[in-house]
Amino acid sequence: MIIDLQANERWQVIDELIDSLVAAGKIIPQNRDAISAAVKKREAAMSTGIGFGIGIPHASSNLVSEVIYALGRSRQGVNFNSLDGQPVHLVWLFLVPEGQIQKHLHTLANIAKLLHQPDIRAALDRVQSETELQDLLRPVMLGNAPFSPSMLPHKQIESALQSAVQAVLPEADVSAVLVRPCPDPKFGDYQTNALMALAKARKLNPRQLATQVLAKLEVSAVCEPVEIAGAGFLNFRLKSTVLAEVLAGAARGEHLFFRRAARPRTVVIDFSAPNVAKPMHVGHIRSTGIGDALQRTLRLLGHDVKSDNHIGDWGTQFGKLLLGWKEILDRPALEKNAIAELERLYKVINAECDAHPARLEAAKAELVKLQAGDAENTAIWKQMIALSQQQFDAIYGRLGVKFDFSLGESFYNPWLGEVVNDLVQRGIARASQGAIGVFSDGSMPPKEDVFLANRDGEWVDDPALVRKSDGGFNYMTTDLATIDYRLKTWAPAEIVYVVDDRQAGHFKKLFATFARWQPDAAKKVKLVHVGFGKILGDDGKPFKTRSGDTVKLGDLLDEAEERAFNIVSAKSPELAEPQRREIARVVGLGAVKYADLLPNRQSDYVFNWDKMLALQGNTAPYLQYAYARTRSISRKAEESGLHYQPAGIQLAAPEERALAGHLLNFSLTLEAVAEELRPNYLCNYLFELAGKFTGFYEHCPVLKAPDEVTRNSRLALCDLTARVLQQGLRILGIETLEQM
Ligand code: ARG
């Protein structure tokens, strides 16, 4: 645990830390003074106040038999004779066995490096429990530790590899030294290409660097002897015993091949965000599905997610809607289908406004009254929101999507005036033709300047408008107030916007404007636009109904269930209708969601019912079917009285080995999804898993296995595959069925 240091003088602080190790039973009391003397001797010869408020007193001693350490924080600060002359607030005492200082120099360097990260120091300041502390310190402390099943093998390899690289290249930033699954299992389970990049940057021979790193690399507890391949890759093959041990742990229910993040981040995810008084259309499946998959992935990995549905509940359209409501509202129609009626009101009045300037004036007058807080207009507006929300909720209910918050655009109205005033006062925004906008400040070359646009070869202003000439505010203004609110309310490390790529320009300007408005706050948060492409019809044009209208999301989901029902009924007519309906619901919705998550999100994709509902190929029904099949094997085993004992795992056949190795890659896949905000990685992982399972099932009899040990091991592999498939699909927002 981290102790709160009482003393304010260097030597006393060192003794306080040593005493804490005595109290913890890590140093025997008789050795206290000698160890204290050893640390002080070293500290006197060369101060360990490395700057940034950090001190790392250390020593080697024959009185300790393993690496031990203690951490303390000092409120008032201690004079550690630091490089930067600043008082020290964090002290890490580090003791190693006699003669091992040389060996642990890179660990020391890693400690220094770790503590240099402001977010780590901040996290250390907040640490509550021993496990939290262990998680934070893990990157530096486990370089040479024996295999520990609580740490997944690829993480152990990575951490040992980072230590080895640090020993060879002390100045290198090892955070980018990572291992990835080997593309071809022939060469091993994991691979790193990081050494080639390091060598290139230093004009070193990559194979030579690899040889040097290999000499310092200690992974024999987890891997077969490591090989250098090609231009300087390192390939790692896990020992089968280690692989089997990790699988056995999973079979005992200790983990499911992933670990929660050592450093959880607060991430705001802004997604779905439909507009009031309009039907949700097919395009909304994209933001809703991708956003939901991301929130589920980040949560599973232990991050603190705030999902926020930024509903479009404010804007000029309400002038027309209000006019329509007051003049031509058809109450029975509203009761029957509110959104359709609201849509009709808008269309009729909009056409009138286009034709007659007086109608447009009348609509504007309604809007001004709403903006001024007129009671009648406010009440109508609220009804429109409530009616729309019912529609949204019905769709979210079907899709199984939940939000932590639904703070619509109107929520930010009270702050918009202040935002604009502040921007003007700081000289960031200025008036132009009656409106107010943020213009280029000339600090960027035109090509990279988001406030400039190229028209016919000439660079012209393309400002971020924050107030219209009629005094109204813009989409941009609301988004600026929204960032401000989110930072003040949740202090997130990241805000992710899952919005159509057609709004890429808006987000570029938004992020740039915010950075100019609040430069310090902007440095603390990563603002990311997670863009996506269009859904196309067979003709390669945006997906429409036969009559050329946009496809309503509700209708699309109905059709998905109906088509799936026909398929199920043809395949399994013997099942009762309610059961066929339920299968059809899970399969139909799953198919639509999966087809949308599978392509690289920035590409457009062609909507194709037959393809997405097929039981063959990379589809949800295929994966759901693979899941049901693994479950049926377990069921059959139970029915024949073969109770499966989660015991040892055997990986004799190559297909068993391949399946096991792929199960272990679940963690890397989840991390990649969270890092790059791309759920399609998980789709492809699951598809491959189902393929590896098929290979295993075809070659390795399970129920008819030659002996009980083998059968139990194979039943465990079936069960683990089922669990990963189910967990993976769940993260994609897709349900599974025990029987199909
Ligand atoms: N309602 C907007 C639209 O339909 C999307 C809002 C996205 N989120 C945001 N913070 N701008 O275009």
Is 270 touching ligand 1 by the criterion CB < 6 Å? yes
Q: Which residue has the higher pLDDT, 248 or 294?
A: 294
Ligand 1 centroid vs 425 CA: distance in angstroms? 28
For residue 736, being part of any structural domain is answered with no
Beta strands in 426-580 (DSSP E): 429-432, 435-438, 452-455, 458-461, 464-467, 494-498, 526-530, 535-536
pLDDT grade, residue 139 (50/70/90)?
low
Q: Are residues 424 and 519 in the same domain?
A: yes
Residue 86 CA, distance from chain mean position? 37
Q: Is 545 left (phi over 0), alpha (psi -120 to 50) or beta?
A: beta
d(CA 66, CA 157): 21
pLDDT grade, residue 103 (50/70/90)?
low
Q: Are residues 422 and 387 in the same domain?
A: no
Q: Which of 310, 313, 500 to mutate to test the pocket of ligand 1 (most atoms within 8 A of CB)?
A: 310
Ligand 1 centroid vs 405 CA: distance in angstroms? 15
Ligand 1 centroid vs 477 CA: distance in angstroms? 13
Sign of CA dihedral 502, 507, 509, 510: positive
Is 479 touching ligand 1 by the criterion CB < 6 Å? yes
For residue 672, being part of any structural domain is answered with no
Query: Is the predicted pLDDT of residue 723 greater than 90, yes or no?
Result: yes
Q: Which residue has the higher pLDDT, 412 or 250?
A: 412
Share of the chain residues as helix, strand and coil, in percent rounded to the nearest 5: 55, 15, 30
Q: Are residues 6 and 121 in the same domain?
A: yes
How does pLDDT run across 221-238, given as a tens digit for each residue? 899 999 899 999 999 999
How does pLDDT run across 612-660, given as a tens digit for each residue? 999 999 999 999 999 999 999 999 998 888 766 666 899 999 999 999 9
Q: Which of 290, 484, 503, 506 to mutate to test the pocket of ligand 1 (most atoms within 8 A of CB)?
A: 503
Question: Residue 610: exposed, middle, or buried by beta-carbon count in 10 A (0-12, 13-18, 19+)?
Answer: exposed
- Find the radius of gyration of the CA atoms of the chain: 31
Show the CA angle centred on residue 431, arms to residues 429 and 436, nearest 5°: 65
d(CA 717, CA 659): 8
Query: Is the predicted pLDDT of residue 146 greater than 60, yes or no?
Result: no
pLDDT at 524: 95
Q: Are residues 484 and 422 in the same domain?
A: yes
Ligand 1 centroid vs 527 CA: distance in angstroms? 15
Of 115-129, 265-279, 563-577, 724-738, the range with the lowest mean pLDDT is: 115-129
For residue 280, being part of any structural domain is answered with no
Q: Which residue has the higher pLDDT, 83 or 478?
A: 478
For residue 474, being part of any structural domain is answered with yes
b/e burial code for range 708-740 (CB count within 10 A of at least 16 → b): eebbbbbbbbbbbbbbbbbbbbebbbbbbbeeb
Which of 130-134, 159-163, 538-542, 566-570 tops mean pLDDT? 566-570
Long-range CB contacts (within 8 A, 24+) of 434-438? 434/469, 435/465, 435/467, 435/468, 435/469, 436/465, 436/466, 436/467, 437/463, 437/464, 437/465, 437/466, 438/463, 438/464, 438/466, 438/509, 438/513, 438/516
pLDDT at 644: 67
Atom of ligand 1 nearest to the CA of 507: 11
Atom of ligand 1 nearest to the CA of 475: 11
CATH number of the domain enclosing 523 = 3.40.50.620
Which among 238, 272, 288 is the end of a domain?
238
Is 497 touching ligand 1 by the criterion CB < 6 Å? yes
Which among 402, 421, 455 is the end of a domain?
402
Q: Are residues 112 and 25 in the same domain?
A: yes
pLDDT at 150: 61
Query: Is the predicted pLDDT of residue 140 greater than 70, yes or no?
Result: no
Ligand 1 centroid vs 499 CA: distance in angstroms? 7
How does pLDDT run across 336-362, given as a tens digit for each residue? 999 999 999 999 999 999 999 999 999
Sign of CA dihedral 619, 250, 158, 732: positive
pLDDT at 148: 44
Phi, psi of 7 (to 5 degrees): -70, 160
275, β-bridge pairs = 312
Q: Are residues 380 and 466 in the same domain?
A: no
Is 312 touching ligand 1 by the criterion CB < 6 Å? yes
Ligand 1 centroid vs 497 CA: distance in angstroms? 9
Mean pLDDT of the residues in the chain:
92
Residue 312 CA, distance from chain mean position? 25
Full domain range(s) for residue 172: 153-238
Average pLDDT over residues 9-23: 93
Strand order, beta sheet including 266-270? 304-308, 266-270, 494-498, 526-530
Q: Is 167 left (phi over 0), alpha (psi -120 to 50) or beta?
A: alpha
pLDDT at 647: 67
d(CA 692, CA 123): 41
Atom of ligand 1 nearest to the CA of 503: 12
pLDDT at 143: 42
Query: Is the predicted pLDDT of residue 250 greater than 80, yes or no?
Result: yes
String of DSSP letters for 254-304: S-SS----SS--EEEEE----BTTS--BTTHHHHHHHHHHHHHHHHHTT-E
Residue with tokens 């640490």: 127
For residue 262, being part of any structural domain is answered with no
Q: Are residues 417 and 497 in the same domain?
A: yes
Q: Is 283 left (phi over 0), alpha (psi -120 to 50) or beta?
A: alpha
For residue 545, being part of any structural domain is answered with no
Average pLDDT over residues 186-194: 92
CATH number of the domain enclosing 202 = 3.30.1360.70
Residues 651, 240: contact at Cβ < 8 Å?
yes
Ligand 1 centroid vs 272 CA: distance in angstroms? 8
Q: Are residues 415 and 510 in the same domain?
A: yes
Which of 159-168, 290-299, 644-653 tops mean pLDDT? 290-299
Ligand 1 centroid vs 310 CA: distance in angstroms? 6
pLDDT grade, residue 144 (50/70/90)?
very low
Atom of ligand 1 nearest to the CA of 482: 10
pLDDT at 145: 39
Residues 692, 662: contact at Cβ < 8 Å?
yes
pLDDT at 78: 92
Ligand 1 centroid vs 75 CA: distance in angstroms? 45
Query: Is the predicted pLDDT of residue 141 greater than 60, yes or no?
Result: no
Residues 135, 150: contact at Cβ < 8 Å?
no
Question: How many other C-beta atoms can be found within 10 angstroms of the C-beta atom of residue 390?
Answer: 11
d(CA 360, CA 74): 67
Q: Which residue has the higher pLDDT, 63 or 701?
A: 701
pLDDT at 309: 98
Q: Are residues 431 and 518 in the same domain?
A: yes
Q: Counting every residue, how long is the chain?
A: 740
Residue having the nearest C-alpha atom to atom 8 of ligand 1:
310
Average pLDDT over residues 719-724: 96
Query: Is the predicted pLDDT of residue 6 greater than 60, yes or no?
Result: yes
Q: Are residues 524 and 458 in the same domain?
A: yes
Closest CA to 442 of 459, 455, 457, 426: 459
For residue 560, being part of any structural domain is answered with no
Q: Are residues 387 and 414 in the same domain?
A: no
Query: Is the predicted pLDDT of residue 564 greater than 80, yes or no?
Result: yes
Which among 354, 377, 402 is the end of a domain?
402
Q: Which of 499, 509, 527, 534 to mutate to test the pocket of ligand 1 (most atoms within 8 A of CB)?
A: 499
Of 257-261, 263-267, 725-729, the range with the lowest mean pLDDT is: 257-261
294, β-bridge pairs = none
Is 409 touching ligand 1 by the criterion CB < 6 Å? no
Alpha helices, DSSP H, located in 127-152: 130-141
d(CA 331, CA 326): 11
Query: Is the predicted pLDDT of residue 544 greater than 60, yes or no?
Result: yes
Atom of ligand 1 nearest to the CA of 311: 1
Q: Which residue has the higher pLDDT, 517 or 149?
A: 517
Show the CA angle centred on residue 630, arms to residues 590 and 734, nearest 5°: 15
Is 499 touching ligand 1 by the criterion CB < 6 Å? yes
Domain total for the chain?
Answer: 4
Is 275 touching ligand 1 by the criterion CB < 6 Å? yes
Strand duo 58-61 + 88-97: pairing: parallel
Is 273 touching ligand 1 by the criterion CB < 6 Å? yes
Ligand 1 centroid vs 672 CA: distance in angstroms? 26
Atom of ligand 1 nearest to the CA of 312: 1
Residue having the nearest C-alpha atom to atom 6 of ligand 1:
273
Q: Give percent above pLDDT 70 in the chain.
A: 97
Q: Are residues 9 and 56 in the same domain?
A: yes
Ligand 1 centroid vs 286 CA: distance in angstroms? 13
191, β-bridge pairs = 180, 235
For residue 544, being part of any structural domain is answered with no
Query: Is the predicted pLDDT of residue 515 greater than 80, yes or no?
Result: yes
